[in-house]
Amino acid sequence: MASTPPLVSHPAPPKRLIPPKKPVDPNLPPARETWGQWWKRKGNSWGTTAVVKGIAISDSVGGRANGIAERVGAERFWPTTGDGPQEMEKAARIIKSFTVDGVGVKVEKKDEKTGQKIQRKVMRKIPAKILRGAKGLVIFSSLRNGIFPFGGAGGSGVIVARLEDGTWSAPSFISPNNLTVGFMAGLDLFDCILVLRTQEAVDSFSSQAKVTIGSEIAVAAGPYGSGASVEVGADRQPVLSYIRTRGLYAGVELVGQAFLCRFDENERVYFWPGVKLTGRTRIPREAESLLDAIEAAESGSAQRAHGDENEFEEVLPWEDGSVIDLEEGETLKLPPTPDQLSREEEEEEWRRQKEERDKKRFLR
């Protein structure tokens, strides 16, 4: 009987190798695509290219426009890429122009001797008490123009909000724009400060990409002078506006000022595109001059930079023969009024609170 041969084990056959798929390049067209897919791909590509070229053109035009504005003594108004530090420095200058220099207005006084009207230019300033009660500040410059029946305005600026401890947040970048309808004509470069008096007004800027002044938030012209606190108490508008113009602009208009958040510039400065009004963002070094200008305006030292008697307004002396003639080096000092005593007490209390805030900030 023949014996069966032993079973011989053979190695398993090698596995069939499947070549890996090449990574798909989103910039390359697929192997097979429909006309709809082709148009969608091309449309996205064309749109991206158009945005990049549009930003480059805007920056080129904006640089020239801002240069012209600065040569005529106005502030830059055209937003450009990477202008965050310049916007913060501009906001500091605008604060000083409203509190140290003042806004020029013409007033008339009748001469008692001749009966003629005499005109003088008065520089009126934003009272410190208005700024101490602010929940937020919107500081911007803009170009406004109009040819009947349409016109518009555009600009750039920043917004800061008061935090719970009384300090100010890091500035967030905005761009005001609007379309006007009415009887108007002219060209105007102007600076503006909006004093936000309620937390709801501040929250509207931090929670929305676009805020419209006039329809969503009511606004009123801000008062000047020592009696401003009385006017503010009687007026419950959530926003007060202070404007300083440099051009000629006349007409009656329906204005809807829309403020757009500049997410791109916020991302360049803070590496995050959101609005920076919560106090969680570190304040950049470039914003120190702005915060110093705001603190000086709150304390009243900015308004009294040209003398205590010029805290609310500076006016040239009237040509009046009844003025007391003092000898050289002699001064006439009158006792303080009740309003002056009240203001001094408020400023002293504000300085005490500021020292406490500074101590807590240095201990962090």
Strands 136-147 and 172-196: antiparallel
Q: Where in the sequence is the domain holding 259, given as residue range(s)?
A: 84-308
Residue 61: inside a domain: no
Q: What pLDDT does residue 355 have?
A: 78
| H or E stretch covering 261 | strand 257-261
Across 17-22, average pLDDT: 70
Domain count, the chain: 1
| 64, part of any domain | no
pLDDT in tens, 108-161: 777 677 777 777 778 888 998 899 999 999 999 988 876 655 567 788 999 999
- pLDDT reported for residue 319: 46
Task: Give percent above pLDDT 90 in the chain.
Answer: 18
Helix, strand or coil, per DSSP, at residue 53: helix
Residues whose CB falls within 8 Å of the CB of residue 148, separated by 6 or more in sequence, listed in order: 183, 184, 185
DSSP secondary structure, 174-222, as one string: EEEEEEEEEEEEEEEEEEEEEEE-SHHHHHHHHH-SEEEETTTB-EEEP
pLDDT, position 120? 75
pLDDT of residue 107: 74
Coil, helix or strand for 276? coil
> Is 103 among the domain residues?
yes
- For the chain, the farthest-separated pair of C-alpha atoms sits apart, in whole angstroms, at 156
Q: Which helix (H) or strand (E) is 84 found in, with range?
A: helix 84-96
Mean pLDDT over residues 303-319, rounded?
A: 72
In a domain, 319, yes or no: no
Distance spanning both ends of the chain, measured CA to CA: 100
Q: Alpha-carbon distance 104 to 14, whole Å?
A: 92
Residues 6+ apart with CB under 8 A from 336: 344
Identify whether the C-beta of residue 31 lies closer than 8 Å to the C-beta of residue 39. Answer: no
Residues 94-121 have pLDDT tens digits of: 999 999 988 877 777 776 777 777 777 7
Q: What is the dihedral of CA 212, 134, 243, 191, to 10 degrees?
A: -80
126, part of any domain:
yes
- In a domain, residue 26? The reply is no
Query: pTM for this one?
Result: 0.73
Tell me whether residue 24 is in a domain: no
State how far the Cα of 347 lies from the Cα of 129, in Å rounded to an integer: 9
Beta strands in 111-164 (DSSP E): 117-124, 136-147, 150-161
Has residue 206 been placed in a domain?
yes
Asked if residue 156 lies in contact with residue 143, where contact means CB atoms within 8 angstroms, the answer is no
Q: Fill in the DSSP letter of residue 135.
A: S
Report the Cα 109 to chain-centroid distance in Å.
37
